[in-house]
Amino acid sequence: MSLRKLKTVATVAVMAGFLGFSGAAFAADSSEPIKIPIKNWSSQIVMAHVIGGMFESMGNTVEYVPVDNQVSFEATRTGDITILHEVWQSTMQNAYYNAMEKGGLIDAGTHAAATLEDMGVPNWVIDDGLCPGLPSWEALKDCSANFATPDSGGKGRWLEGPMTWHGDVMPNRVKGLGLDDKWVVKFAGAADALWAELAAAKKEGRGTIIFNWTPNFTDAEGFTFIEFPPYYDGCRITDGGDLSTTGCGSPLGWLKKGAFWKFPKTHPNAYRAFSQLSFTSPQIGSMAALVDVDGMTHADAAAKWLKDNEDVWKGWAVSVLGEGN
């Protein structure tokens, strides 16, 4: 496996300028950098820099490593990455637990946020009557023409996330529900393409169904998830199900953190702060909104979030100091 590394080093003195205390007050852990993954959706990238800023304020050096989502679990298990800070139950739990079973990846706790990852529509699709009967999935039997695009071959289009996120989960669902004669699943190249599709559909006056998740900036924008048949363990083909069961929706789930097994030993202070760290749904949504609504860069968004929310994150760092080093 080859990981292209993008090293970003920020000194403690720079961070202390807006954090309000000197990194010297914290006993630094190992001099080796803490390697934080950079994936391809906004909340994950902003949160990476937020957590990195917290680590830097404690005297540590961080390194940001661009990595594919699925590769990241093996990379953390082998130490090429130090932490995983956004592990979504619905689409990542298999890779997460498989890496843990192999050894090298440890669970570092769970965020306060509850999650859902599934297909849905912006609220204006329902308000404009483009698919009467939504959010029930059965409404999709009669409205596909309103969701056709030039690349959908006359069928309605579901715009999924990148293929590397979920594989065939959504194409299998369309088949399992008997909708494949009217709907086709297309894959976005990145999360940004999903948000561009929302704007394009609104401008063109057509319906759109996209993959989305909560917490996200769309929580405040107005978004409705389609109500598919209930999820249960094993319903998906990828989990042992078949076409008669794989039409199931996604579960309400957790948002976990993981770490390389040596992290608590090499960086005990940073690990304790990381294990205590727990973001809520509104906090994660606000991180994404700074980029996807306000147009900030990920690094600038993180700097603003850190400055505006010192009362949230500084407690995790300060509590470690209070434990004694």
Q: Check residue 322 and give its pLDDT.
A: 60
Lowest mean pLDDT among 9-23, 222-236, 307-321: 9-23
Assign residue 238 a region (left: φ > 0; alpha: ψ between -120 and 50; beta: otherwise). Answer: alpha
> Do both 122 and 229 map to the same domain?
yes
Q: Is residue 166 part of a domain?
A: yes
Q: What average pLDDT score do residues 260-270 get?
A: 97
Share of the chain above pLDDT 90, in %: 85
Spatial separation of the C-alpha atoms in residues 258 and 192, rounded to whole Å:
26
Q: Which of 195, 214, 239 is a domain's end point?
A: 239
> Do both 105 and 120 map to the same domain?
no
Q: What average pLDDT score do residues 246-275 get?
A: 96
Q: Check residue 318 and give its pLDDT.
A: 76
> Do both 219 and 270 map to the same domain?
no
Spatial separation of the C-alpha atoms in residues 321 and 9, rounded to whole Å:
23
Q: Is residue 5 part of a domain?
A: no
Residue 295 pLDDT greater than 50, yes or no: yes
Residue for token pair 């989990």? 239
Q: Is residue 75 part of a domain?
A: yes
| Cβ neighbours, 10 Å, residue 154 | 10
> Do both 120 and 235 map to the same domain?
yes
> Do both 281 and 230 map to the same domain?
no
Q: Check residue 253 and give its pLDDT.
A: 94
Q: What average pLDDT score do residues 6-12 get?
A: 36
Q: Is residue 7 part of a domain?
A: no
> Do both 205 and 122 map to the same domain?
yes
Spatial separation of the C-alpha atoms in residues 14 and 39, rounded to whole Å:
25
Q: What average pLDDT score do residues 134-147 get?
A: 98
Provide the pLDDT confidence category of residue 12 given band limits of 50, 70 and 90. Answer: very low
Residue 3 pLDDT greater than 70, yes or no: no
> Do both 178 and 191 map to the same domain?
yes
Q: Is residue 228 part of a domain?
A: yes
pLDDT in tens, 22-34: 444 455 689 999 9
Question: What residue spans of the chain are helical by DSSP H?
Answer: 12-19, 42-57, 69-77, 89-102, 123-127, 163-166, 169-176, 191-204, 218-221, 263-266, 268-276, 281-292, 298-308, 310-323
Q: What average pLDDT score do residues 55-70 get?
A: 95
Residue 169's domain spans which residues? 116-239
CATH number at residue 211: 3.40.190.100
> Do both 81 and 17 map to the same domain?
yes
> Do both 25 and 88 map to the same domain?
yes
> Do both 166 and 102 map to the same domain?
no
> Do both 288 and 207 map to the same domain?
no
More confident residue, 321 or 94: 94
pLDDT in tens, 105-137: 999 999 999 999 999 999 999 999 999 999 999
Q: Is residue 248 part of a domain?
A: no
Provide the pLDDT confidence category of residue 164 given band limits of 50, 70 and 90. Answer: confident
Q: Check residue 21 and give its pLDDT.
A: 46
Lowest mean pLDDT among 77-81, 105-109, 218-222: 218-222
Share of the chain above pLDDT 70, in %: 90
Q: Which of 191, 212, 239 is a domain's end point?
A: 239
Mean pLDDT over the full length of the chain: 90
DSSP three-state, residue 261: coil
Residue 220 pLDDT greater than 60, yes or no: yes
Q: Check residue 19 and give its pLDDT.
A: 47
Q: What average pLDDT score do residues 48-72 get?
A: 96
> How many domains is the chain built from?
2
Spatial separation of the C-alpha atoms in residues 43 and 45, rounded to whole Å:
6
Q: Which of 187, 211, 239 is a domain's end point?
A: 239
Reported pTM:
0.85
Distance of CA 48 to the CA centre of its chain: 11
Q: Is residue 105 part of a domain?
A: yes
Residue 284 pLDDT greater than 60, yes or no: yes
> Do both 109 and 175 map to the same domain?
no
Q: Is residue 272 part of a domain?
A: yes
DSSP 63-121: EEEE--HHHHHHHHHTTSS-EEEEEEHHHHHHHHHHHHHHSSEEEEEE-S--BEEEEEE
Q: What average pLDDT score do residues 275-290 get?
A: 97
CATH number at residue 75: 3.40.190.10
Q: What average pLDDT score do residues 77-96 get?
A: 95
